[in-house]
Chain A
Amino acid sequence: GQQVMQIPQYQHVQEGEDFTTYCNSSTTLSNIQWYKQRPGGHPVFLIQLVKSGEVKKQKRLTFQFGEAKKNSSLHITATQTTDVGTYFCAGLDNYGQNFVFGPGTRLSVLP
């Protein structure tokens, strides 16, 4: 079945440093969504990417979808303590209607 992996598993950064998490799928994806989950909270939708090579920006967050539609990345510029949480990618394959979540990358930001 479809597998979605994320690296790194954990990332500790100093406030102001940049952060990147990578998402890789074993199969081609029709689209990919990114979510953020704060400690003790629930996943909150951030963005959806659909087109090959697509790049979207939300303030300090930049999302990319690979040309082959099998990988994606989330980059945060100049992290803040409010960025703390776990970032999940969720891929929708070309055959199903259900999303497969990656294991997440847990981001810690030291003030």
Chain B
Amino acid sequence: DAGVTQSPTHLIKTRGQHVTLRCSPISGHKSVSWYQQVLGQGPQFIFQYYEKEERGRGNFPDRFSARQFPNYSSELNVNALLLGDSALYLCASQTSGGPGDTQYFGPGTRLTVL
């Protein structure tokens, strides 16, 4: 079975632009979470989706939005990019997203904002 996949692998944008990152969870998993990992720090929670509904939201500005599709894949959108948005964006897949669920992380998308 394939693991969590994310695209693109790397992305370079300039300030003010917007970006869309994509994630496909493990087959059979219905929950997807998004994390931002700045170099040298731990992942910071952005969103969690389960069955296409937003289940949780971290402390990020409204420039960040996400959605989940009927096939459980997900997109993270970031508008009006800032230099500080440069980070590794990680997607984590879970069966149902419950408190005890193991999170399986994808390889991430490395976003550089110039």
Which A residues fall within an 8 A CB radius of B?
Answer: 1, 4, 30-31, 33, 35, 41-45, 48, 50, 88, 90, 92, 96-104
B residues 70-114 near A (Cβ < 8 Å) are 88, 90, 97-100, 102-108
Q: Which residues of B contact A (CB under 8 A)?
A: 33, 35, 41-45, 48, 55-56, 58-59, 88, 90, 97-100, 102-108
- Alpha-carbon separation in the docked complex, A82 to B20 (Å): 35
Whether the pair A88, B103 counts as a contact (CB closer than 8 A) is no
Most A-side CB within 10 Å, residue of B41, B48, B107: B41
What is the minimal beta-carbon distance from A8 to any residue of chain B, in angstroms? 14
Cα distance A96–B35 when bound, in Å?
16
C-alpha spacing A97/B47, complex, angstroms? 11
Are A43 and B43 also in contact (CB < 8 A) when A33-B103, A97-B98 are?
yes
Q: Which A residues are CB-close (under 8 A) to B106?
A: 42
**A82–B76 alpha-carbon span in the complex (Å):** 33
A-B contact pairs, 5 of them (CB 8 A): A42-B105, A44-B105, A99-B45, A99-B103, A102-B42
Q: Which residues of the other chain, B, contact A50 by a CB distance below 8 angstroms?
A: 100
With both chains docked as a complex, state the minimum distance between the C-beta of B103 and any C-beta of chain A, in angstroms. 6
Whole-angstrom distance from the CB of A68 to the nearest CB of chain B? Answer: 19
Q: Could you tell me if A98 and B58 are in contact, using CB atoms closer than 8 angstroms? A: yes
Residues of B within 8 A of A43 (CB): 43, 90, 103, 105
